[in-house]
Amino acid sequence: MYMLKSPEGITFNHVDLQERFTDADNALYDYFMVNDVAGRGVNGKEIELITVSNNDGAYVEGGRKPPRYLDVTITVKSPSFSDLRRKIDELNDILNTREDVPIVFDDETDMTYYGRLDSVNNLTEEHKIYQAVLTFLCSDPYKYGPEVSKDLGDVDTVNNEGTVPANPVFELTAKEKTTFAMVSNGTDEDAEYNLIGTPADVDEKLVDEKTLIFDETGDTIDEWSTDPDFSQGSFDSDINGIFVDSYGTGDGWHGPGLIREINPTQDFEIEFLTSVRTERPEMAFRTSLNFFDENMSELGLLRVWNKSTSTINKVIEARIGPYTGTNFENYLISSRNYNWMGQRVYNGIIRVTRKGNIYTFYAAHISQRGNHIESITETYVDTANEFSGRLKFIRIDAAIYGDNPRPNGLSIKRVRVNGLNDILIDQTPYILYPGDVVTFDHKNEDILVNGEPRNDLKNFGGSFFTLKKGFNNVIVSPPDTFSGTVNYRNKHL
């Protein structure tokens, strides 16, 4: 069967409207067609002028590209009035977005516009035919080519084939420890750069800000001891970390627990990385890390759990000291400020650092791209030095409640403990270690270290520069320290 097909067919938010609303077997009487598209021509500029009394003309203050409007004229035909109404209802649903979405036209498939429906001019609706002009507002007036990815050496040439500067994302993976990471665009005096850390002077001593004390991903789980208070069930491990082999049985909370002695340390950082998936509300669970001083006095707790059997949620808890009751007076993070209601999957990190008498708790969900999202930071000052003993014991446990079903997936992916060292005036600390990943995101103006936002490390003189049109001389420093990539999209007027 012959099918009417417009060369300017539109794909809105990944939905090919012509394909969605055309019956290929009855294409003469049941179709969606784009008749015309306006707004993709030369895009003007709004010039800002300053006039001066008694002076001819005006001074040009500046200018900007205004938003782009795309006017798309469409025709929808149906074999019946009821089917036409159904199509219009479905089209309304597809076009009803709360944010800018990708828009692609069939005669320009290598370019993507970003916009949303702004207004509709209904032209006709009779004889089972509907015609209208759909106006899409593109607050970003540019159109974008496909993403370009290029491996970077210490010095590399990057060709921006767009007609305007592009916003790059640099990702650098450390091959050795370093005190700084820098990317720059050129070497002349006008070159721009972005930098975290501090390049050390020749007479400065390089020191480790952190000293790794303990790192468990499941390989040495047999070296832990069973905690007699958590003797139900057992842990095991695989490539994904530590998982629960058995929760045992019991009326209340029951499951396995292990304890590990480490080298005592005064200032420390503990990272607890976990993931869990629950498909049903009755899958109540918990997984915890408690830490103790040399006298087995509890310094605090890190936990993920769902103690409700009526809703699916993931509550993060971080506590200073031992459990003292249910009024949360010593909980820095709890259901009051971190409750993932309705979320089936949690994959995240809970961290505590103690430096002097200051405890800092941090929690975040880790996205599939490895970025920290929904993060929270809370600080506690132990003015009475009540929890100042040296860290010596780490305990992990996992549990379910009664005979409720176990979660579909629960694992402790990593437990890592670092000692924190004092940095003297004439010393420069290493800030990155082998395997650490630095992301200079010049599109969103973010700096990430292993997915965690770290704009606090940005050098005052650094900037989120663009890739100029044409060839760019990109330099990664220090030399021979990183493997890297740059990702960007060519941008066009």
Residue-wise pLDDT for 155-169, tens only, equals 999 999 999 999 999
Query: pLDDT digit string (tens) for 300-352?
Result: 999 999 888 888 889 999 999 999 876 778 999 999 999 888 788 999 999 99
Domain ranges, ordered by start, for the chain: 10-141, 144-209+425-492, 210-420
Q: Are 439 and 169 in contact (CB under 8 A)?
A: yes
The predicted model scores a pTM of 0.86
pLDDT tens figures, 256-285 = 999 999 999 999 999 999 999 998 889 999
Q: Are the folds of 144-209+425-492 and 210-420 the same?
A: yes
Q: Which one of 3.40.50.10440, 2.40.30.200, 3.20.20.70, 2.60.40.420 gives the CATH number of domain 10-141? A: 2.40.30.200
Provide CATH code, domain 144-209+425-492: 2.60.120.860
CA-closest candidate to residue 8, choices 73, 102, 68, 69: 73
Percentage of the chain with pLDDT > 90? 74
Specify whether the CB–CB gap between 354 and 361 falls below 8 A. Answer: no
pLDDT per residue as tens digits for the range 383-423: 999 999 999 999 999 999 999 999 988 999 999 999 999 98
pLDDT for 125 beyond 50? yes
Query: Could you tell me how many residues make up the chain?
Result: 493
Q: Domain 210-420: give its CATH code.
A: 2.60.120.200
